[in-house]
Amino acid sequence: MTDTMDWLEAIGQDATLRHASTDELTSTLEAAEASEALLAAVASGDSAWLAQEFGYRPMMSPQSSQTFPEDEPEREDEEEPDAEVRLALSHD
Amino acid sequence: MVDNIPALGLSLGQMAKACFRRAEPAKPQAPRHERQVGEGAGSPIGHMSLGAPARGKLPYYLRMTMPTTPMPSRASQGSLACVGLGMTLGSHLTPLARSHIMQADVVFAGLSDGIVEMWLQRMHPDVRSLQSYYREGKSRFTTYQQWVELMMTEVRAGKRVCGVFYGHPGIFAWSPHKVIEIARAEGYAAHMEPGISAEDCLYADLGIDPGRFGCQHFEASQLLLFERRIDPTGYLVLWQVGLVGDRSLARFQTGPAYRQVLVDLLSKDYPLDHEVIVYRAATLPIQKPRIRRVALRDLPSIELTAEETVVLPPAQRLKPNLAMQARLAALDEQENAGVPA
């Protein structure tokens, strides 16, 4: 049975599914017995429904700042981050 | 899809294993970077200052970090690839980026969507999320430096490391450029594979060709903090407007008053009723891009996230440069008269 992640990948890779109407995609997923969370997300246009299946995890997105582009960044809290990194590495 | 090569009697999986058998981890050895730069043992973060004494005498625009040619490396040494996952799950990952992920010993993930990160975890058994290093009140530069430190630690341990970042790993992303610069300076093979960025999606979803009228891109905060020349005859694309004006680099959101400062600046070149576009690319294939159109004056009062981008279409017609046109006409006449210009 195709699970929701497989379905998401399949939809992302298929030109017909990726650009299908809500009704068409819902019908396809219903026929394939996709999960209730995925069906609800597609039918409502609200991907927040997927949290039922995958959980909710807020994610940060900024990965740079051009605010002061001429300055190499200085570490502010020298001790604490090193401890964080050491902890992460010790769990490998 | 071809899944085996009959002439060789091998499946693609077997071929891949034969071609890309992982090297044995390198034995611990004196770090080459210490010998090269004479910094001695210290915090790994210290390695980020490689070359800084020489470059530090130059103005920043002359010491921008251009990737250098990788030095030859042995198979047993660590290596690094920073790849882009694209913006939309399933749609944008290139075959080459996927290959880097699957062949790596360890994968670090700098992604913006939790489900996309779970998707990545299906591609590799050792995916380490970089999300936990963010914290409200902590400078993001510290976070980005930690990411570099984490990746370099594994490279120095002889691992094949893949850093996976959403969109394009080299656009509005500090750590991938920095870690590649450091890895190369220490003699490791390191390179970047491009990905489909939010900017790419923006052009497709909004029907904008940046070449038509020209297109300027700024981080919104930089536009406020420095004297920049806005050209209202072309497109203006402003990134990270949701946290505009945050000089601490420790916040992920700023309020309407900060955006009002931005609007006040823009109002010198654009009328307040100029329609601006607020855009967010789809990260899941069941989503549609989020596109809102509001008047410039209303920008402070709407809800805006860090992922959203603000586009200002041209507000003025292109002005012919009559002096340059006259010079070109004179050259044409010269050429027509048989005298090469």
- Domain with residue B168: its CATH number is 3.40.1010.10
Which residue of B240, B252, B286 is the best one to mutate when testing the A interface, meaning the one whose CB has the most A CBs within 10 A?
B286
Is residue B166 located within the same domain as residue B207? no
Is residue B189 located within the same domain as residue B203? no
Is B146 in contact with A76 (Cβ distance < 8 A)? no
Q: Is B229 on the interface with A (CB under 8 A)?
A: no
List CB contacts (< 8 A) between A75 and chain B: 45, 141-142, 145
Alpha-carbon gap, residue B18 to B103, rounded angstroms: 12
List CB contacts (< 8 A) between A18 and chain B: 91, 285
CB-based contact B55:A70 (threshold 8 Å): no
Q: pTM of this prediction?
A: 0.79
| Residue B113, domain member (yes or no) | yes
List CB contacts (< 8 A) between B287 and chain A: 47
Cα nearest neighbour of A25 on chain B = B286
Here the CATH number for the domain that contains residue B268 is 3.30.950
Summarised one tens digit per residue, pLDDT across range A12-26 is: 999 999 999 999 999
Radius of gyration of chain A from Cα atoms?
21
Reported confidence tier of residue A87, pLDDT bands at 50, 70, 90: low
The domain in which residue A33 lies consists of 4-54
Q: Is B270 on the interface with A (CB under 8 A)?
A: no
Cα nearest neighbour of B127 on chain A = A92
Instruction: Output the pLDDT for position A73.
Output: 55
Residue B43 pLDDT greater than 50, yes or no: no
Which residue of A17, A50, A66 is the best one to mutate when testing the B interface, meaning the one whose CB has the most B CBs within 10 A?
A66
Is residue B154 located within the same domain as residue B243? no
Instruction: Output the pLDDT for position B247.
Output: 85
| Residue A26, domain member (yes or no) | yes
Is residue B125 located within the same domain as residue B226? no
Which residue of A61, A76, A90 is the best one to mutate when testing the B interface, meaning the one whose CB has the most B CBs within 10 A?
A61
Q: Treating both helix axes as pointing N-terminal to C-terminal, what angle do B140-156 and B174-185 enclose, rounded to 10 degrees?
A: 40
Q: Which residue has the higher pLDDT, B19 or B177?
A: B177
Is residue B152 located within the same domain as residue B205? no
User: Residue B316, Cβ neighbours under 10 Å: how many?
Assistant: 12
Distance (Å) from the alpha carbon of B256 to chain A's nearest alpha carbon:
19
Per the annotation, the verdict on B60 as an active-site residue is no
CB-based contact B83:B193 (threshold 8 Å): yes
Instruction: Output the pLDDT for position A63.
Output: 78
Is B252 in contact with A41 (Cβ distance < 8 A)? no
Is A12 in contact with B111 (Cβ distance < 8 A)? no
Is residue B232 located within the same domain as residue B186? no
Tokens of B231: 């050209």
Q: Is A88 on the interface with B (CB under 8 A)?
A: yes
Is residue B182 located within the same domain as residue B226? no
Q: Is A66 on the interface with B (CB under 8 A)?
A: yes
The domain in which residue B246 lies consists of 199-312
Per the annotation, the verdict on B61 as an active-site residue is no
Across the range B172-176, mean pLDDT stands at 92
Average pLDDT for chain B: 84
Is B287 in contact with A47 (Cβ distance < 8 A)? yes
- A40-49, A67-76, B1-10, B173-182: least confident range: B1-10
Share of chain B above pLDDT 70, in %: 78
Instruction: Output the pLDDT for position A64.
Output: 75
| Residue B206, domain member (yes or no) | yes
- Domain-ending residue, one of B164, B196, B228: B196
The b-or-e profile of B227-245 (16+ CB within 10 A means b, else e) is: eeebbbebbbbbbbbbbbb
Global ipTM: 0.81
Is B286 in contact with A47 (Cβ distance < 8 A)? yes
Is A85 in contact with B146 (Cβ distance < 8 A)? yes
Summarised one tens digit per residue, pLDDT across range B199-234 is: 999 999 999 999 999 999 999 999 999 999 999 999
Instruction: Output the pLDDT for position B140.
Output: 85
- Total domains in chain A come to 1
Is A69 in contact with B222 (Cβ distance < 8 A)? yes
Q: Among residues B160, B166, B235, B280, which one is catalytic?
A: B166
Instruction: Output the pLDDT for position A88.
Output: 58
Distance (Å) from the alpha carbon of A37 to chain B's nearest alpha carbon:
12
| Residue B234, domain member (yes or no) | yes
Is residue B270 located within the same domain as residue B302? yes
- Domain-ending residue, one of B196, B229, B253: B196
Alpha-carbon gap, residue B340 to B338, rounded angstroms: 6
Distance of CA A24 to the CA centre of its chain: 24
- Domain-ending residue, one of B168, B196, B224: B196
Q: Which of B59, B117, B225 sits opposite A67 (nearest CB)?
A: B225
Q: Is A29 on the interface with B (CB under 8 A)?
A: no
Is A67 in contact with B144 (Cβ distance < 8 A)? no
| Residue B26, domain member (yes or no) | no
Q: Which residues is B161 bridged to in the sheet?
A: B80, B106
- B1-10, B255-264, B267-276: least confident range: B1-10
| Residue B61, domain member (yes or no) | no
| Residue A11, domain member (yes or no) | yes
Is B114 in contact with A38 (Cβ distance < 8 A)? no
- The upper half-sphere exposure of residue A53, i.e. CA atoms within 13 Å in the direction of its Cβ, equals 18
- Total domains in chain B come to 2
Q: Is A65 on the interface with B (CB under 8 A)?
A: yes
Instruction: Output the pLDDT for position B99.
Output: 98
| Residue B60, domain member (yes or no) | no
Q: Which of A42, A56, A67 sits opposite B219 (nearest CB)?
A: A67
Spell out where B211-333 has E strands: 215-219, 235-239, 275-280, 290-295, 309-312
Per the annotation, the verdict on B166 as an active-site residue is yes
Reported confidence tier of residue A37, pLDDT bands at 50, 70, 90: very high
